[in-house]
Amino acid sequence: MIDKPRDYCGIFGIQNHPDAALLSYYGLHALQHRGQESAGIVTSYFDEEKERWIMPAHRDFGLVLNVFDDQEMFKNELKGRAAIGHNRYSTTGAAKNPANIQPFRVHYHKGNIAIGHNGNLANAKQLRNRFRQEGVLFQSTSDTELILHLISHSQKETQIEQVLDALEQIEGAYSLVMLTDDKLIAVRDPNGFRPLALGKVDGSYCVASETCAFDIIDAEYVRDIEPGEVLVMDQEAGSDSEPESYHLDPEYGTDTSQCIFEFVYFSRPDSKIFGENVDKVRRNLGKYLAKEHPINEVITKDTGDTKPIVISVPDSSNTAALGYVHENQKLGYECKYEIGLIRNHYVGRTFISPGQKSREQKVRTKFNTVKGVIEGRSVIIVDDSIVRGTTSRYLVSMIRQANPAEVHFLVSSPPVIGPCYYGLDFPDPKELIANRYGRDIEEMAKEIGVDSLRYLSASGLVDAVRESNVSSGGYCTACFTEKYPVPVNFGIAKEENEIV
């Protein structure tokens, strides 16, 4: 996919490790694909001289490698055996406001507390209005800050009770890492929208949005944080002690609803999320795509001896394309996986760039065709999803210039038709290609400029995911089906609070 929803956030936390900040840095780097706008790490340590807990923070706009460009800061500044980190691509909160860079950190009457959030609260607007009426002032335009106000306004006795009190008042999608003076708290909302895994390194527990953050620090994967679980890792307890678990009740009538788009596009193929290898699921999507649309039903031209070729849009659809090829070969249909598009990795993702006047120049800057591979062939492009369709169209026109016999476009997920209220920032529904062309696939194919356009069906998508991930609970497919598992009050109106 090349014109995809905005990525949102990666979170990481670690307790009781002498290199807490440094490991967080590597973890955030591995999660860079989940948010390239800003990065931050907060640690906690007890200052013997000042006789109080200190919670240093380093946060800035930019990639992890740029924000943390001086290794000294891990020794001198970000001291402590516990740390949390956050990569952001904002879904709410004005992008350019530095006050929106997470983790947030405050001091209140119970001590320090810091928070990093992946997701989107469904009742943010109500909560914000309630607080505004009370006269509460906000530092940021982010819904994450609401959680801190809920905690600091809680009348409960202990910090843990205050945190639970606060979490019971929020709805929607939230995987959280929180740091108090001496505790690391990892939370996954009762519906389990966003992933969050528990790992272990050198005997210390860590948590991360995806397990690729464990691999980079040689941590082992222990298990997922369960939907509704609040896991408390206490520093005082020492590294041998087991974390303590609390549980939040789901909203009445709602079920586990893990984001299926994580498998389709967001997560890295080398990660395990929702208990399964992303690579394996994505390969299965290719397999089901082949079952629904075997290549012999796709191609229409006879190109003689030269087999039809399957090319991916690198790198996100590589695995699905390979899965498609291998299943076709298994089914006895001749085809070859080829590298027909080269991606220039010196650009950030398309959506990152501001301005973006010329989407065409953008695509051309990012991709080039390998002409010899394409010329005279039946070309099947496999992509993971189509959102607006405008960049797909230009990509196809580039491929056409290399003179293929025909071009077909296969998508390893159904058409995107609805907005996401749980942490993804798709464009306005009116801009989605499926909506612009009344969900008429032929019209959409014409728009994109291909000989045919085919999608994986919604049931095929769910079956493909379930086949490879039997044990796991339910999925949210709202962006493909408009079935929203948790009612939403349409978030924070951005403009209203932008100026704070």
- Residues numbered 203-242 forming contacts with a copy of itself, rule: CB under 8 A: 212, 215-216
Radius of gyration of the chain (CA): 23
Residue 339 is a binding residue for a copy of itself (CB under 8 A): yes
Q: CA-to-CA distance for 113 and 357, rounded, in angstroms?
A: 41
Query: Does residue 106 touch a copy of itself according to CB under 8 A?
Result: yes
Q: Which residues pair with 58 in a beta bridge?
A: 41
Q: How far is the CB of 154 from a copy of itself (least distance, A)?
A: 7
Contacting range for a copy of itself; rule: CB under 8 A; set: 4-12, 251-259, 289-297, 343-351: 343-351
User: What is the token pair recorded at 47?
Assistant: 């200052």
Sign of the four-CA dihedral 389, 390, 394, 397:
positive
- Closest to 475 (Cα-Cα) out of 489, 488, 459, 491: 459
493 binds a copy of itself (CB under 8 A): no
Q: Pick the stretch among 12-20, 99-107, 195-203, 387-395 that binds a copy of itself (CB under 8 A).
A: 99-107
Stretch that binds a copy of itself, among 50-58, 76-84, 191-199, 471-479 (CB under 8 A): 50-58
Q: Token pair of 281, please?
A: 């699921």
384 appears as a binding residue in the annotation? yes
**Least distance (Å) from a copy of itself to the CB of residue 500?**
4
Stretch that binds a copy of itself, among 255-263, 289-297, 341-349, 408-416 (CB under 8 A): 341-349
Nearest CA to 144 among 161, 128, 165? 128
Q: Of the two residues 245 and 344, which places its CB atom closer to a copy of itself in the complex? A: 344
Instruction: Tell me which residue of 201, 228, 264, 173 sits closest to 485, measured CA to CA.
Output: 173
20 neighbors 82 (Cβ within 8 angstroms): yes
Q: Strand, coil or helix: what is 89?
A: coil
Residue 420 labelled as part of a binding site: yes
Q: Does 255 belong to an annotated binding site?
A: no
Stretch that binds a copy of itself, among 183-191, 315-323, 420-428, 431-439 (CB under 8 A): 315-323
For a copy of itself, the closer CB: 234 or 338: 338
Cβ-based nearer residue to a copy of itself, 105 or 388: 105
* CA–CA gap between residue 328 and residue 385 (Å, rounded): 20
Segment 129 to 158, residues that bind a copy of itself, using CB under 8 A? 132-139, 148-149, 151-154
Stretch that binds a copy of itself, among 107-115, 410-418, 436-444, 478-486 (CB under 8 A): 107-115
Say how far residue 149 (Cα) sits from the centre of its chain. 26
Per CB under 8 A, 182 contacts a copy of itself: no
Beta-sheet pairing, 367-369 with 341-343: antiparallel
> Applying CB under 8 A, which of residues 253, 304, 354, 372 lies at the interface with a copy of itself?
372
Strand partners, 379: 309, 407
Task: Give the active site residue among 9, 206, 212, 335.
Answer: 9
- Which tokens is 446 given? 């014409």
The count of residues interacting with a copy of itself (CB under 8 A) is 73
Backbone angles phi, psi at 220, to 5 degrees: -100, 150
Question: What is the CA 121 to chain-centroid distance, rounded?
Answer: 16
- In 434-484, at which residue ranges do the beta strands (DSSP E only) sit? 452-455, 475-476
Cβ atoms within 10 Å of 293's Cβ, excluding its own: 22
Minimal distance, residue 411 CB to a copy of itself, in Å:
19
Could you say whether residue 248 binds a copy of itself (CB under 8 A)?
no
**Alpha-carbon span 200 to 235, nearest angstrom:** 15
Residue with Cβ nearer a copy of itself (223 or 238): 223
Name the token pair of 373. 């591979």
Q: Any known ligand binding at 428? A: no
Residue with smaller CB distance to a copy of itself, 139 or 457: 139
List b or e across 309-333, with b for residues whose CB sees 16 or more CB atoms inside 10 angstroms.
bbbbbbebbbbbbbbbbbbbeeeeb
Minimal distance in Å, beta carbon 316 to a copy of itself?
11
Question: In angstroms, what is the minimal distance from the CB of 390 to a copy of itself?
Answer: 18
> Whole-angstrom Cα distance, residue 379 to residue 382?
10
Binding residue (CB under 8 A) for a copy of itself from 4, 6, 29, 88: 29
101 is a site residue for a copy of itself (CB under 8 A):
no
Please enumerate in sequence order all residues whose Cβ is within 8 A of that of 29, keeping only pairs 6 or more positions apart, or say none. Answer: 64, 65, 216
Q: Compute the least distance from the CB of residue 314 to a copy of itself, in Å.
A: 8
Show the site string, 275-304: x = touches a copy of itself by CB under 8 A, - = not: --x-xx------------------------
Residue 337 φ then ψ, to 5°:
-80, 130
Are the CB atoms for 66 and 38 separated by under 8 Å?
Answer: no
C-beta of 10 vs 172, nearer to a copy of itself: 10
Whether 9 is catalytic: yes
Strand-strand pairing, 309-312 and 336-338:
parallel
Nearer to a copy of itself, 229 or 384 (CB): 384
Residue 316 marked in a binding site: yes
Provide the annotated binding site.
259, 316, 383-384, 420, 476, 479
Provide the annotated binding site for Mg(2+).
316, 383-384
Question: What residues are labeled active site?
Answer: 9
